[in-house]
């Protein structure tokens, strides 16, 4: 029996629990800020989980720990997470944006490229679509993959993990920026002006990636625009939900990071500069 911990019972954490729960070879604990029951719905149907969350700190040690808090909250958890590790624990950081692996002084720490879509509103999580985590093709992760293959979670071990990370970074650069700044869901891409703006933003992000030595294929922008077409028109993004709820966003880990690289390579990225300034302005003096 494997022991897994999910830290953060928000959208991604709760959905991860749902995807793993029917595998009886895994014993799962899920940690939230308070003790409460998980409540998840999919296609307007409630998903039965009698799972109760736990709270940190914990003295239990786990074989795998999934970090499912926002990138902005990672630093506050490091000590608690390290205290829950044994020598061979895998720490899987399930976040968007630039990897925070280096924050953890633990050898088996990995950044997962997350293709899961959901929203936490109050204590309810709505599961929209997708069930995949892409991880590096590392022998250490084979047991985890074999064990999760018996569940609904799809773990992919990919030898081109860095490219996959950047591809997802660009996916989020486009859709998260556009949904957050228009305060509209994926349907906003049906508008031609917005579609064109998104393509131009992606083109700038693609140029930054190439200058940074990331070997993304020439069809990247087309592929990303095709992914957006698979989104339900009413699907939002984590950044959209954040601005709708007046919360701080993860822009520094997505747009801010790419913007920083563009500046350091002295690239001309007018749209990226504009959207990054607007997102920075959104949270200026906001708590």
Ligand X SMILES: NC(=O)C1=CN([C@@H]2O[C@H](COP(=O)(O)OP(=O)(O)OC[C@H]3O[C@@H](n4cnc5c(N)ncnc54)[C@H](OP(=O)(O)O)[C@@H]3O)[C@@H](O)[C@H]2O)C=CC1
> Does residue 38 bind ligand X (CB under 6 A)?
no
Which residues ranging from 111 to 140 are in contact with ligand 5RP (CB under 6 A)?
115-117, 130
Map 246-262 to HEC letters: CCCCCHHHCHHHHHHHH
Cβ-count burial of 223 within 10 angstroms (0-12 exposed, 13-18 middle, 19+ buried)?
middle
- CA torsion 99→163→166→218, rounded to 10°? 170
Nearer to ligand X, 8 or 174 (CB): 8
Nearer to ligand 5RP, 63 or 242 (CB): 242
Secondary structure (3-state) at 235: coil
Backbone dihedral angles phi then psi of residue 66, each to the nearest 5 degrees: -95, 125
> Does residue 70 bind ligand X (CB under 6 A)?
yes
Instruction: Measure CA of the first residue to CA of the last residue in the chain; give whole Å.
Output: 42
Q: How far apart are CA 49 and CA 18, in angstroms?
A: 8
x/- binding map, residues 146-175, to ligand 5RP, per CB under 6 A? -------------------------xx--x
CB of 89 to ligand 5RP, least distance (A): 25
x/- binding map, residues 78-117, to ligand X, per CB under 6 A? ----------------xxx-----------------x-xx
> Does residue 224 bind ligand X (CB under 6 A)?
no
CB of 93 to ligand X, least distance (A): 9
Which residues ranging from 247 to 276 are in contact with ligand X (CB under 6 A)?
250
Nearer to ligand X, 143 or 158 (CB): 158
Q: How far apart are CA 166 and CA 158, in angstroms?
A: 13
Contact 240, 180 (CB under 8 A): yes
Nearer to ligand X, 9 or 153 (CB): 9
> Does residue 96 bind ligand 5RP (CB under 6 A)?
yes
> Does residue 9 bind ligand X (CB under 6 A)?
yes
CB of 222 to ligand 5RP, least distance (A): 16
Helices 220-229, 161-182: axis angle to 10 degrees equals 50
Contact 220, 206 (CB under 8 A): yes
Contact 27, 4 (CB under 8 A): yes
Residues of this chain that interact with ligand X (CB under 6 A) are 7-13, 31-33, 56, 68-71, 73, 76-77, 94-96, 114, 116-118, 120, 238, 250
Residues of this chain that interact with ligand 5RP (CB under 6 A) are 96, 115-117, 130, 171-172, 175-176, 237-239
């Amino acid at each position: 029996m494997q022991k897994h911990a999910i830290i953060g019972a928000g959208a991604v954490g709760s959905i991860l629990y749902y995807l793993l729960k029917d595998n009886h070879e895994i014993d799962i604990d899920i940690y939230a800020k308070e003790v409460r029951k998980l409540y998840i719905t999919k296609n307007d149907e409630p998903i039965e989980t009698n799972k109760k969350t736990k709270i940190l700190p914990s003295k239990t040690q786990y074989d795998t720990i999934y970090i499912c808090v926002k990138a902005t909250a990672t630093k506050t958890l490091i000590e608690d997470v390290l205290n829950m590790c044994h020598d061979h624990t895998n720490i899987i950081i399930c976040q968007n944006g630039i990897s925070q692996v280096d924050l953890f002084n633990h050898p088996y720490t990995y950044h997962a490229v997350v293709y899961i879509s959901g929203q936490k509103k109050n204590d309810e999580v709505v599961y929209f679509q997708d069930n995949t985590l892409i991880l590096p093709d590392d022998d250490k992760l084979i047991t985890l993959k074999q064990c999760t293959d018996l569940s609904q979670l799809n773990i992919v071990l990919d030898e081109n993990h860095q490219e996959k990370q950047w591809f997802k970074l660009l996916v989020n650069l486009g859709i998260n920026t556009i949904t957050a700044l228009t305060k509209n869901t994926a349907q906003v891409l049906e508008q031609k002006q917005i579609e064109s703006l998104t393509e131009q933003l992606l083109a700038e992000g693609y140029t930054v990636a190439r200058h940074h030595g990331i070997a993304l294929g020439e069809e990247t922008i087309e592929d990303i625009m095709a992914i957006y077409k698979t989104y339900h028109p009413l699907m939002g993004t984590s950044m959209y939900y954040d601005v709708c709820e007046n919360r701080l966003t993860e822009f520094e880990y997505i747009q801010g990071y790419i913007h920083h690289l563009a500046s350091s390579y002295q690239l001309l990225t007018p749209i990226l500069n504009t959207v990054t300034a607007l997102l920075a302005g959104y949270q200026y003096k906001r708590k």
